[in-house]
Every structure is written in structure tokens, then in C-alpha cells.
């Protein structure tokens, strides 16, 4: 059978108009056209030249998302089971994994026999991943064998088929658990200081699916402004509890580069009105201040018996003389109504973005729930992200004294 395929391929090449076809060149001359062979690496193009007497077209397979990683084992199993390919005919190289304490295939080169060759290179083990596609790990400790790159070499008549294969492989992914460092504001008897905390990036592969199509352009505007050198201004994120404000901030901070991210926890927010706080912040120019649950410090000063100095400090930081000198930007989240906050915070030129998070509509809630693996049976009304993500926890919540327990959000 292989001889028949090769004969058919060579016969096709003799009459082919393909610019890469080289039917009448000796094997020695043919191989000289290939790139130099590096010791230990598969001479991929030379093998293709020798087999098909033609320079191959090439397609580099990548995942659909920048944080997605191709799972080599799932892809190899698909090649074996769905494409009916004999893996014993592949050229492989093995390496030793200190994590799993076993040998593994770190590179594979296979010929499908139909004018297509597939190369998987630089595979490695990683357990620090998220697995929303429920792929089977390669080891009991949830280690996945991940491919750095998959390359298709092929004859031009296989172009459509190769693109379809690549699209299929691109869905066989896990996602990297990226983390970034937040500097949390703390205080002791000596004054304010920063303490580093690592925040993992949440798995959001589709912003529109989580927050609605209109939010995508808002996110782009926020991300662009926060990455400006010597930028200033304020981002206000508000809405009902559980609607995804904090979840989004975890995602957003991974989009910011080369800036110090200063986190002010809710119990420290009132410190912004302290006379010592601004001098402390002056040490961190061109940084971003993240204030959670900020409703108590951004209320309209005209409605307060004792106007808060915190609002004045925020205004000065975001667009005042101090802002011009320090170039600090502010992200503030709150749950109260927008009409209760100080209107000066909404002034044009100071405000980068103002967005209200709400429940997802019924159809979007069903789509996201199904995407997360919960199905759609229990989605009968618009839901918050917290409600959608925590369906399993709610289902497993134990009864107390024979009565159903009540969550804080239901109270």
C-alpha cells in the first residue's frame, strides 16, 4: 500500500504545475535543497522531499487563545484513532521528566501517507493549568504533556483538509494559570507599606460571553488607557453583587504591563483620607491604584454631614496637580447606585470608563453555563456570573436541621 501511494504521488508530481514539485531530480540533489540538518532534530523538510519529491507547504498550528496550550497526547490519540494512523511508524525522541519521573515523547514526526506530514516538537509536562475541556491528564498528579508547536507539511491539494485538521487540533487545549503580583497596602506602627500577593488570571476565553458584546469595546478602551505611559484618570466599575467586577479585575490586571499595581482592600479604603497616605503613594509614580468596595469613600460630598477628604484625594490623584506629577490611575469598584457618588468623579477628561455590571440575560446565561459544563436545565432566568459559576456548590450545599440552608446572596 505505501508503495502504491508513493508511486501515485510521484506520477502526480510529474505532471503537476505546483511550483514546489521536483519530479526529475536525483535523490542526492533533491536532499541538497533541504535545510542543513541539526543533530538530534528531525530533518522534516528533507524527509518530505525524499518521500514526495516536492517542497512542502507549511501550516503552523496554534491554539485559539493566547493563554491556551495544545495538549499533545489528545492530539496524538486523535491521529491514531480518527485518522487510523499507525504510531509505530513515527520518528520520535524521548526525554526524562523529573516531575513525573518517567520517560516521555518530547518530539514526534509522522507521515499520514497522503501528502501530509505532522511534526510535534518541544513537548513538556505542566500541571499548573486549567482544564475546562475536561481532557484526560497524562499523569495522576494532573500533569499534561503540552506541545510548544505543531507543524503540518503537505502537498497543496491537501490545503483545505489540513486547515480543518488544524482547527480541530486547536480546540484540544488546556489553559495556562498565569499569575501577576499585586502590591497590597498594609499598615503597622511604623506606617504604610506594601505586601506582595500573587493573583492568578481567571479563565475568560470570551469577554463577550461573560459580560456581553458591548463590554468588549469598553475593555479595549480601559486596557489601552491603563497601559499608557504616564497616564492618569479613573475607571469606575459598579453593579449588583456577584456580577463579576472582581473577576474582571483579576483578568484586567494581567493585561497591564510594566506598572506597579497597588491594591487597597476594603478595610483600608478609608485610609485614603489620611494625611499620611498621599506622601506614601508618592513613592510609586506611574502606578495603578485598585480600590475594592469603595462606596464609603466616593459618596457625594454634598450629601455628607462631614465631607470625606478621600474624594478630594482621589480627584487630585486622578486629574489634579498631584495626578500630573505622579501619573497614577485609579480603578474603583462599588455596589451602590451611581447617583450617590460624587459627580466630580464622573467629569469628562477625568473618567476613563464607567461601566455597570448586571446579570447576564437568559440566553447568555444558558450559553455560559453550558460552556462551563453545567448544562442549561437549571437556567430559567437571568443570572449573575457568581450564580452561574457556583451552581455545583449550591447543589451540594448541605441541609441544616432538616431545612435548606440559605446563602448570603439569598438573604
Beta strands in 298-383 (DSSP E): 329-334, 351-357
Q: Sign of dihedral through CA atoms 335, 341, 343, 348?
A: negative
Count of domains forming the chain? 3
| Residue 303, phi then psi, degrees to nearest 5 | -100, 0
In this structure, is residue 30 part of a structural domain? no
Q: Which three cell numbers stand for residue 56?
A: 512542502
* Residue 320 and residue 298 share a domain: yes
User: Rounded to whole angstroms, how far apart are CA atoms 366 and 388?
Assistant: 9
In this structure, is residue 107 part of a structural domain? yes
In this structure, is residue 256 part of a structural domain? yes
Looking at 176, 209, 226, which one is the last position of a domain? Answer: 176
pLDDT tens digits for 298-325?
Answer: 765 565 544 466 777 777 666 666 666 6
In this structure, is residue 46 part of a structural domain? yes
In this structure, is residue 79 part of a structural domain? yes
Q: What is the pLDDT of residue 8?
A: 46
Q: What is the pLDDT of residue 342?
A: 76
Helices (H) and strands (E) in the chain, counts: 14, 17
Q: Answer for the pair 63, 70: CB distance below 8 angstroms, yes or no.
A: yes
pLDDT tens digits for 20-56?
Answer: 888 877 777 776 776 766 666 788 888 998 899 899 9
In this structure, is residue 215 part of a structural domain? yes
Q: Which three cell numbers stand for residue 366?
A: 444558558
* Residue 272 and residue 154 share a domain: no
Instruction: Annotate 238-270 with b (16+ C-beta within 10 A) or e (fewer).
Output: bbeebbbbbbbbbbbbbebeebbbbbbeeebbe
* Residue 285 and residue 304 share a domain: yes
* Residue 291 and residue 169 share a domain: no
Nearest to 318 by CA among 192, 252, 231: 231
User: Rounded to whole angstroms, how far apart are CA atoms 360 and 384?
Assistant: 6
Q: Could you tell me the pLDDT band of residue 402, with boundaries at 50, 70 and 90?
A: very low
Q: What is the pLDDT of residue 9?
A: 52
* Residue 211 and residue 145 share a domain: no
* Residue 221 and residue 111 share a domain: no
Angle between helix 245-252 and 213-226 (nearest 10): 50
Structural domain harbouring 351: 179-357
User: Rounded to whole angstroms, how far apart are CA atoms 321 and 372?
Assistant: 47
Q: Which CATH number characterizes residue 257's domain?
A: 3.40.50.300
Nearest to 222 by CA among 192, 247, 256, 199: 256
Check pLDDT > 90 for residue 159.
yes
pLDDT tens digits for 223-258?
Answer: 999 998 888 888 999 988 888 898 999 999 888 888
* Residue 290 and residue 207 share a domain: yes
For the question of whether the overall pTM of this predicted structure is more than 0.75, the answer is no
In this structure, is residue 411 part of a structural domain? no
* Residue 136 and residue 201 share a domain: no
* Residue 208 and residue 263 share a domain: yes
In this structure, is residue 17 part of a structural domain? no
Q: Where are the alpha helices (DSSP H) in 121-252?
A: 159-169, 207-211, 213-226, 245-252
* Residue 204 and residue 165 share a domain: no
* Residue 374 and residue 286 share a domain: no
Q: Please tell me which of 102-116, 172-186, 247-261, 349-363 the model is most confident about, judged by mean pLDDT.
A: 102-116
* Residue 313 and residue 242 share a domain: yes
Looking at 139, 161, 176, which one is the last position of a domain? Answer: 176
Amino acid at each position: 500500500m505505501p508503495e502504491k501511494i508513493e508511486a501515485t504521488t510521484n506520477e502526480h508530481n510529474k505532471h503537476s504545475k505546483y511550483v514546489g514539485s521536483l519530479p526529475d531530480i536525483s535523490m542526492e540533489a533533491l536532499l541538497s535543497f533541504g535545510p542543513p540538518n541539526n543533530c538530534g532534530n528531525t530533518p522534516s523538510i528533507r524527509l518530505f522531499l525524499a518521500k514526495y519529491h516536492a517542497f512542502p507547504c507549511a501550516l503552523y498550528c496554534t491554539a485559539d487563545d493566547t493563554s491556551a496550550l495544545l495538549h499533545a497526547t489528545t492530539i496524538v490519540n486523535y491521529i491514531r484513532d480518527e485518522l487510523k494512523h499507525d504510531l509505530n511508524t513515527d520518528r520520535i525522541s524521548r526525554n526524562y521528566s523529573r516531575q513525573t519521573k518517567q520517560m516521555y515523547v518530547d518530539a514526534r514526526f509522522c507521515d499520514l501517507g497522503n501528502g501530509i506530514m505532522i511534526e510535534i516538537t518541544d513537548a513538556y509536562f505542566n500541571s499548573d493549568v486549567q482544564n475546562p475541556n475536561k481532557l484526560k491528564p497524562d499523569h495522576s498528579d494532573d500533569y499534561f504533556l503540552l506541545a510548544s508547536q505543531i507543524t503540518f507539511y503537505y502537498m497543496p491539494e491537501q490545503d483545505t483538509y489540513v486547515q480543518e485538521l488544524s482547527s480541530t487540533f486547536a480546540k484540544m487545549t488546556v489553559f495556562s494559570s498565569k499569575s501577576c503580583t499585586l502590591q497590597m497596602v498594609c499598615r503597622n506602627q511604623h506606617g504604610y507599606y506594601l505586601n506582595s500577593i500573587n493573583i492568578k488570571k481567571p479563565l475568560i476565553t470570551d469577554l463577550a460571553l461573560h459580560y456581553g458584546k458591548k463590554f468588549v469595546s469598553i475593555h479595549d478602551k480601559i486596557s489601552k488607557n491603563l497601559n499608557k505611559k504616564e497616564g492618569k484618570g479613573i475607571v469606575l466599575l459598579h453593579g449588583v453583587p456577584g456580577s463579576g467586577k472582581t473577576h474582571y479585575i483579576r483578568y484586567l490586571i494581567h493585561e497591564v504591563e510594566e506598572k506597579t499595581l497597588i491594591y487597597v482592600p476594603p478595610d483600608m479604603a478609608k485610609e485614603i483620607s489620611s494625611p499620611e497616605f498621599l506622601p506614601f503613594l508618592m513613592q510609586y509614580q506611574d502606578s495603578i491604584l485598585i480600590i475594592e468596595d469603595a462606596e464609603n469613600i466616593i459618596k457625594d460630598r454634598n450629601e455628607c454631614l462631614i465631607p470625606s477628604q478621600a474624594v478630594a484625594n482621589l480627584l487630585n490623584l486622578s486629574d489634579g496637580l498631584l495626578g500630573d506629577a505622579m501619573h497614577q490611575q485609579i480603578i474603583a469598584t462599588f455596589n451602590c447606585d451611581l447617583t450617590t457618588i460624587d459627580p466630580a468623579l464622573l467629569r469628562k477628561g477625568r473618567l476613563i470608563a464607567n461601566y455597570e455590571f448586571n446579570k447576564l440575560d437568559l440566553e447568555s446565561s444558558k450559553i455560559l453555563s453550558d460552556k462551563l459544563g453545567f448544562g442549561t436545565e437549571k437556567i430559567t432566568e437571568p443570572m449573575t456570573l457568581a450564580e452561574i459559576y457556583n451552581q455545583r456548590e449550591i447543589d451540594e450545599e448541605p441541609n441544616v436541621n432538616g431545612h435548606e440552608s440559605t446563602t448570603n446572596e439569598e438573604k
